[in-house]
Structure 1
Amino acid sequence: MRLHAALSVLAISFLPGMGQAASCGGDFGGFVREMKAEAVRMGHAPSTVDAFFASVRQDPKVIRADRAQGIFKKTFAEFARAVISQNRMTNGQRNAQKWAAVFNRIKSDYGVSPGVLLAFWALETDYGQVQGDFNTLNALVTLAHDCRRPHLFRPQVFAALELYERGDFDPARTTGAWAGEIGMVQMLPEDILVNGVDGDGDGHVSLKTSPPDALMSGAKMLRGLGWRPGEPWLQEVTVPQNLDWSKTGLDTELTTNQWAAMGVKPRSGSLPRGLRASVLLPMGRKGPAFLAYPNFRVFFEWNQSFVYVTTAAYFATRLEGAPVFDAGNPDPALSDAEMKSLQKKLAARGHDVGAIDGILGALTRSAVQKEQMRLGLPADAWPTRDLLSRL
């Protein structure tokens, strides 16, 4: 599920004088030959390039997986209940104890709280048990060849080549997720190049087999993405019925003192002083409510799905002792067909909702909130059948 891709290798690919980068589509064999030529122009030895690409094959299963990400059409409550099992909670607590020394090093070096890494470790690979069986090189080259998002995946191929030269990638045997992520916390090759940490001191960065390597590499990456040490990321709250709903959502940040003055209260513990935060209503004003702090936004650098990010952040709080969220009594979610109809209506009114895909992502939420404000409805960014009919 990890989809973040940095741009440094992409920039190298298009440096003046480096030659034309391989175009997407067309004959796969010809595309691979172009990729190989590009790698040589980048300074890699021809014999190394030949060995690296020798076993590469196009994988149609990768394309099918890329086109079928319907899991993010679930609501926050549905997704959270599906993926946060008692087994994952129990194993999280066991791993927290087993790798306590590693988590202490992480907290000292990078300021990342254990629950955050445990949540990613659980959701990405069930604590390393299910890391994916797609050949990583095949997946990356297949997605670079496909014309939907080649700019994201071409750099990853060359990053994998660098890992191969370091002895940390086997083109024929390295496996992972369909989108090319590797290891226990599912990092792309370029992220491994930049953030890989040899946590167990064996001279290699082995994210598939070494929890210390995987956890410390993930922590370094989060820190580099802007993680603020010692600060919270998400906190469940209760909100008054007369709250100005137009101020909710990630587009608005106020201080915790300002939220408290408006009647926002922590469901457990206390509100940290002096921090800015947004009130997050993943299922509208009648559902669960959270304060999302600056660290919450770092989760979006790991994965772009609103539902996944909110679930991962909430799971991390659970692993650190927070109670099960209060589900409330939200209005029923729209069906897939209704969501697509809503997105078409919003787009027709000039709103940018991204793809008409039936997924209630950040762009669609923002558009919903604006239309609710225009129509004089409670502007909580949760689409209802009433809103759909009014549009």
Structure 2
Amino acid sequence: MKHNFGAGPCILPKEVFEEAAKAVLDFNGTGLSILEVSHRSKEFEEVVVETERLVRELLNVPEDYSILFLQGGATQQFAMVPMNLLPENGRAAYLDTGVWATKAAKEAKKVGHVEIVASSSDQNYSYIPKDFQIPADAAYFHYTSNNTIYGTEVFEKPATAVPTVVDMSSDILSRKIDVSEFDLIYAGAQKNMGPAGVTLVIIKNELFGKSGRTFPTIFDYESHAKAGSMYNTPPVFSIYVSMLNLRWLKAKGGVDVIEQENIIKARTLYEEIDRNPFFKGTAAVEDRSRMNITFVMDSPELEAEFLALAKERNLVGIKGHRSVGGFRASVYNALTISSINALVDTMREFEENHK
């Protein structure tokens, strides 16, 4: 058995894979594969309706918000957000907490004025900045809730009176949130919601047309909302598998239940990192992510040896990003506690071998 700690595309539940595999051969008894069925067919339209309903139910999305299934990943949202929300003479406020936050701000600067309200680049993004000021006249405030590369997570929304936009690509559906505190949420699906190819956008309807700009229709949130996420051909297979995964999450008891499981998984691994003399965490303790757990070895020259042992023990995807080095265990919803225990056992085995 492989234990998949990959940062994304990532692990999904076995039963979701099995159901999706059946649909590749025959989707809902149509005699057609889900890969070839028309996106305008009644059968697929029902998939979109159910997927939207599940998102709304699992996250308790208010009625005055639209739920969109788009393409282009979070990267496309880096540009769509300012195009839709930033007026010609306005400015946007951005919190810089890592590579993806930096890229989001970089794209926004191509559209209009951007102010970086705080950054943790001075310590290689190992912490979340605190006590920064958000301009009261900003068109919106943008931040990234979980930083996959650096292993930090924002658990409480920064206080501000301006519209708040958040990139939740790697922690959406992993913990409870109050959607009404946010004005726009976006997330690539390939961490906790489904496979790569579809991007979830949850947007307060009053934001439509907010920038007053003229830009291509394909980048207009309102156009996608009016078309029910079918302004252009949607990513059919990715939406379908996301629906299956959301069904799985609902059957488990929803976000409340998965959050408790995620707390236990993260706590178990962090406790071993802090206990084992060969390893140490890289993120500030108070900002440690539950989704992406980053750590290094006290003796870097032993890292290759540990990776080799991990491979022998069927641990996949734990090599850290080059920006941090060491190791990264991505602990998304579908990863089981047995996989966490397998990693912990391997860390203890390595310790025992070097006594």
Same fold (TM over 0.5): no
Higher alpha-carbon Rg = 1
Q: With structure 1 as the length reference, what TM-score do the two structures score?
A: 0.25
- Higher strand share goes to which structure? 2
Higher relative contact order, chain-length normalized (CA < 8 Å, sep 6+): 2
